[in-house]
Amino acid sequence: MDTQLIKDCEAKAQAWLDSPFYDEGTKAEIRTMLSDSDKTALVDAFYQNLEFGTGGLRGIMGAGTNRMNKYIVGMATQGFANYILKAFPGKTGLSVVVGHDCRNNGRMFAETVANIFSANGIKVYLFESLRPTPEVSFAIRHLGAKAGVNVTASHNPKEYNGYKAYWEDGAQVLAPHDTGIIDEVNKVRIEDVKFQGNPDLIEIIGGEMDFDYMTAVKEAMIDQDVILRQKDLNIVYSAMHGTGRVIVPLCLRSWGFQNIHVVPEQMVVDGNFPTVVSPNPENAEAMTLGMKLGTKLGADLVVATDPDADRLAIVCRDNKGEWTIINGNQTCMMFCYYIIKNKIALGQLKPTDFLVKTIVTTEVITEMARKNNIELRDCYTGFKWIAREIAISEGKQKYIGGGEESFGFLPFDKVRDKDAPASICLICEIAAWARDNGMTLYDLLMQIYLEYGFSYEHTINVVKPGKSGADEIKAMMEDYRNTPITEIAGSKVVLAKDFKTLQARDGKGNVTPIDMPATSNVLQYFCEDGTKVSVRPSGTEPKIKFYLEVKDTMHCPGCYEGCMERAKAKVEEIKKSMRI
């Protein structure tokens, strides 16, 4: 390990020990790191400042500049407060909404945030206890607040916590506010933070907001009649120890579903997530208890939400009656298929309606939109970009749905972040419609592949923790850029997109500009045979992600397994081509 780096980290740690602004518990943790002959923990805790990025903060909890603790949260909040006061000069009655999920230290961080905003003369609507991320987004819009914070690390492992920053539209902050807030946060020193709150400016909110949010969620419903006909649909739900535990069953009942069961062990609020390795709906292991209960009860489907209830997971029965997990791309496909088909059938679809997906989400949705003459917009990964599309068309065009491959969907526009309670209600409506038509959700998925072509999507996460990992990820991206890829798994690359330079290069070497609102460190390759590969370092975790999409033609529902077999073999070839 670099000796100069160790010295720099020791100096930073000593500065915390010498400062009167840090508590004794924090200092004791730092002394332990300093006294350890292995300096890995010290370096990871102090080698950089935990970056306040465009989405806020996310990191491992503990002492240090690169950790989530009340001091880093405090400096971030002071900077955010300074920016709000600058953005609305002379305006009185400024307010923010503050929420948190089930994670360890969540309430303490949320109260720290509320105290600092109130100490700066900004009114705070603080949720009484844990609430879903989409409800925080809804509350910002509903209460006319200027901004908001939700303390959550979403689906990350238990060691993490985070801080999502929202603007007055209920979406995570975008330009110019993102860089403006970052600039203010970077100016703040620990001695600038006003930790002593003003109780008169903190208002606790809860049940009334729950009711208003649930009422809004019903706007995502497309066909009440089909729900009433299939109200006994047998649904098993897991809250994954998090914020959906109360609101999701209530929302389902308000839609008309009457046969709802919950996974009791995972209804317990616990930031240690004792029943799962990681509370991530992308991990099949997290759904084990739900499937076990679903088998016992003969359920039609099993649904779950991640800890902050913005992502959802769906498990249904396949053609052999076995449980199968619907992946994020398939989830998004199902939503878009149903929204298009049934809005057309009910005469609800208008020429100005539009859908949104992210650039790494399946191209099957592109084909759906094209065949049905519906506008589909591609945007960057992250729901703030989907929210941006809603905002720029507000009052002119109607947003009817949008999602991404990472198990996030938003079926209505009253919220500006992914919304698992609303999406779970809608997927249960879709399951009811399928049953009404003699199908399961699995049969519906096969129908989509028959109509719009088979597609297999596979995501590879290469985890590279710490500073050395960050350097490796940077080198990998530079290598791809310096050595252009012309062929993937035996198929010629006909289009390569670099969203960092906003340039697209076709197979003949012609370069054209890419029309996007900002640059992003993403590379994308499209091949002659329909293969699509996207490469993107994660903005919130120490990993680089590869999104692979393989095409085939499916002639009958029974052809699915053969298509899958060929696709998985193709993925292995792609991995070799991409040097993964």
Active site members: 154
Token reading at 443: 């049969």
Token reading at 215: 């009422």
Helix spans in 256-382 (H): 288-297, 328-345, 364-371
Radius of gyration of the chain from Cα atoms? 24
Percent composition of the chain: helix, strand, coil (DSSP 3-state, to 5): 45, 20, 35
Q: How far is residue 575's CA from residue 453's CA, in Å, rounded to a whole number?
A: 23
Token reading at 444: 């519906």
Q: How far is residue 409's CA from residue 426's CA, in Å, rounded to a whole number?
A: 10
344-353: list long-range contacts, CB under 8 Å, 24+ apart.
Answer: 344/372, 346/222, 346/223, 348/222, 349/374, 349/400, 350/398, 352/396, 352/397, 352/398, 353/397, 353/398, 353/399, 353/400
Q: How far is residue 207's CA from residue 192's CA, in Å, rounded to a whole number?
A: 35
> For residue 201, what is the DSSP state?
G
Nearest Cα neighbor of 70 from 108, 99, 44, 32 is: 108
Q: How many CB atoms lie within 10 A of CB 250?
A: 16
Would you list the DSSP string of 388-403? HHHHHTTTTSEEEEEE
Q: How far is residue 486's CA from residue 480's CA, in Å, rounded to a whole number?
A: 11
Would you list the DSSP string of 59-126? EEBSSSTTSB-HHHHHHHHHHHHHHHHHHSTT--S-EEEEEE-SSTTHHHHHHHHHHHHHHTT-EEEE
The dihedrals phi and psi of 360, each to the nearest 5 degrees, come to -95, 0
In a 13 Å sphere around the CA of 215, the CA atoms on its Cβ side amount to: 8
Contacts of 15 (CB under 8 A, 6+ apart): none
Token reading at 230: 């299939």
Token reading at 294: 């679903």
Beta bridge partners of 353: 398
